[in-house]
Structure 1
Amino acid sequence: MTTSTKLPPAPVIDETVRLLTEHYVFPETAEQLAVLLRGRLTEGAYDVDDAAELARLVTADLQSVNGDRHLRLRHHADPVPPERGAAALDAMRRDFDTSLGGAPRVQLLDGGVAVVELAPMLFPLEWAAEPLSAALTLASRAQALIVDLRANRGGDPDTVAFVCSHLLDGRTHLNTMYWRDGERSEQSWSQPHVPGARFGGSKPLYVLAGDSTFSAAEELAYDLQQLGRAVVVGERTRGGAHPCNGWTVHPHLEVTVPVGRAVNPVSGTNWEGTGVQPDVPCAAADSLDRAHTLALARLADRSLNSGR
């Protein structure tokens, strides 16, 4: 006969509060969350039997003040390494190896319209540059392009800039990241040169988005939309604009804390909480057909006008 042993929550909560207080990009919100978590601990709200349930409860509380979906206590079934971000890195590498480097589909549709799916995430650029360049170079010969981000949960801002570089002409300011200390900022720009061929900045471009599209994938859609480069088709995205780091706080638990905030140079804001609003709203499941129809109509119109 076995008896369940409750997970001692105090060490997890204490470390989570410390990380919030030291690193969260919004210090005032961090203070509110610290009071909330300590109060809930005192009430016994976290007296549960397993790490997965503790992660669920704490995550709900972390996101209850300002709805920041990057604030999480994540449960991992396998023990996570103590190094910062190591758990996410291990899982990321497995996904990379099973998704052709984050570009699992390149397809040519009728009428010279290509589809490049980027999923399940935008992997670190040192991993992803080669497979993404291969996919985008192959699609560069198409007359119009659809970038499918419906199943993309985020990733590396440098990879966002890399993809944008294939879809724009010339060097373009994409985003500025402001860090917690308020004194440092970091601009993101598309690059003037890319390996392989460039699709460029003039041919029709559509981005598919849905309620699973998150974080860096949202930035890719938002940057291209704000520049007037792409038409976003589908559903509103999840609304996470803050880059985050992860720390192990228990053998099976990792806390993720946003350490910066994004500001778009065109809109002067970002998609935090609101998500990226589609230019052409429709069900995500229907967005590929809708974008294909739009692309064919646009190409037909361009052909007609060029023949005058």
Structure 2
Amino acid sequence: MTTHHEILETALARITAGYVFPEKTAAIDAAIRRRLNEGAYQDLDVRELCERVTDDLQNVCPDKHLRLLWAEEPQSMDEEPKDVARARFARYARESNYGIRRVEQLDDNIGYLDLRMIAPADLGGPAIAAAMRLLAPTEALVIDLRQCRGGSPEGVQLWCSYFFADDGVHLNDIYERATDSTRQYWTLGHLAAPRYLDRPVTLLTSDLTFSGGEELAYNLKALGRATLVGRTTRGGAHPTDRIPVAPHVTVTVPAARSINPVTGTNWEGVGVEPDLAVAAGDALKAALEHLRKQIG
């Protein structure tokens, strides 16, 4: 059985090697070792260890993607072959309908899209195009991100592209520590369904909206293309590696960071603020009232 000390040694090594802010790793390492030496983790089971260490990690470095996660089912400690990992994720994306929970025409010809995950563009492209074809005749649109927990930067790029006229809009940049390089994300020139232009768009947000869901909201807000309604989002802006450190434990290490070309920053730790702040449960009603005034 892997000891707490072994779990933490492996996790700290992974954080030191991969965290996107290398200048912060010494403080992270010192804080967790201090807590270990104080006996803070001594009487905890492994699940409790994950929770306590996550709290301690985020106290010293408030990055919501920096976590130690417990899993009920044991996982292999061998590195999963890339083709196996891709097949497993493709199956998950397909079973989740590529994040598209519901597409509907509401009263007054307002479209409604319930989006729970941002699928990678290469997997979700046909489903995303099908949704946008169904929404094309509407006069205004609500995208519900209140339960969207994350996804792919390329998927965000594809979704955003439907709301701009061409490929000339700079959406986001992502800096990656491992390669010391920055990738730019621009709107795409070719899409498989009609673009949704010259009509109002609202996004519903909550304190559960996270990561890729937040990027979609942040990009469209920064570019003035959508009105956000609901609550400030959870605040996780860093693309993250998931690395097994014990049969039931994974460390998540942010390995990259977003840099918005409009704001020069991102939503890490602060979330994306709505334009119209209402309780998450009231967001759809408020968004529909807002849209009806615009199209009425």
The answer, yes or no, to whether TM exceeds 0.5 is: yes
CA-CA distance at 1:50 after TM superposition: 2.8
Corresponding residue for 2:9? 14
**1:252 paired to 2:248:** yes
Corresponding residue for 1:3? none
Q: Secondary structure at the match of 2:162?
A: helix
Tell me which amino acid in the other structure corresponds to 2:141.
L
Tell me which amino acid in the other structure corresponds to 1:199.
Y
Tell me which amino acid in the other structure corresponds to 1:196.
A
**1:23 paired to 2:45:** no
CA-CA distance at 1:99 after TM superposition: 3.1
Corresponding residue for 2:268? 272
Moved more, 108-117 or 85-94: 85-94
CA-CA distance at 1:199 after TM superposition: 1.5
Corresponding residue for 2:228? 232
- Distance in 2 (CA, whole Å) between partners of 1:174 and 1:64 is 31
**Partner deviation per Cα, 1:14-70 (whole Å, 9 max, x = no partner):** 111111111101112111011111122222222245321111111111111131000
| Structure 1 residue runs of 4 or more that deviate by more than 6 Å after TM superposition | 84-91
**Partner deviation per Cα, 1:108-151 (whole Å, 9 max, x = no partner):** 111110001111x2123332212122112211221111111000
- Distance in 2 (CA, whole Å) between partners of 1:161 and 1:112 is 26
Tell me which amino acid in the other structure corresponds to 1:178.
Y
Alignment RMSD: 2.2
**1:140 paired to 2:136:** yes
**1:214·1:239 contact (CA, 8 Å) conserved in 2?**
yes
| Normalised TM-score (structure 1) | 0.89
Q: Secondary structure at the match of 1:64?
A: helix
Tell me which amino acid in the other structure corresponds to 2:201.
L
Which one of the candidate residues 204, 207, 226 is aligned to 2:203? 207
- Distance in 1 (CA, whole Å) between partners of 2:230 and 2:43 is 40
Corresponding residue for 1:191? 188
**1:164·1:220 contact (CA, 8 Å) conserved in 2?**
yes
- Distance in 2 (CA, whole Å) between partners of 1:37 and 1:277 is 32
**1:147·1:206 contact (CA, 8 Å) conserved in 2?**
yes
- Distance in 1 (CA, whole Å) between partners of 2:45 and 2:129 is 43
**1:63 paired to 2:69:** no
- Distance in 1 (CA, whole Å) between partners of 2:24 and 2:190 is 41
**1:84·1:246 contact (CA, 8 Å) conserved in 2?**
no
Tell me which amino acid in the other structure corresponds to 2:104.
Q
- Distance in 2 (CA, whole Å) between partners of 1:233 and 1:21 is 38
Moved more, 218-227 or 19-28: 19-28
Count of equivalent residues:
293
**Partner deviation per Cα, 1:257-282 (whole Å, 9 max, x = no partner):** 00111111111111111110100110
**Partner deviation per Cα, 1:156-184 (whole Å, 9 max, x = no partner):** 01000010111211111100111226841
CA-CA distance at 1:80 after TM superposition: 1.8
- Distance in 2 (CA, whole Å) between partners of 1:261 and 1:136 is 29
**2:176·2:182 contact (CA, 8 Å) conserved in 1?**
yes
**Partner deviation per Cα, 1:210-242 (whole Å, 9 max, x = no partner):** 000001110100000000000001000011111
**1:51 paired to 2:58:** no
User: Where in structure 1 are there 5+ consecutive unaligned residues?
Assistant: 1-5, 301-308
- Distance in 2 (CA, whole Å) between partners of 1:295 and 1:150 is 18
**1:111 paired to 2:119:** no
User: Where in structure 2 are there 5+ consecutive unaligned residues?
Assistant: none
CA-CA distance at 1:293 after TM superposition: 1.0
| Normalised TM-score (structure 2) | 0.93
**2:232·2:271 contact (CA, 8 Å) conserved in 1?**
yes
Q: Secondary structure at the match of 1:69?
A: coil
Q: Secondary structure at the match of 1:22?
A: helix
Tell me which amino acid in the other structure corresponds to 2:131.
A
CA-CA distance at 1:205 after TM superposition: 0.5
Corresponding residue for 1:35? 30
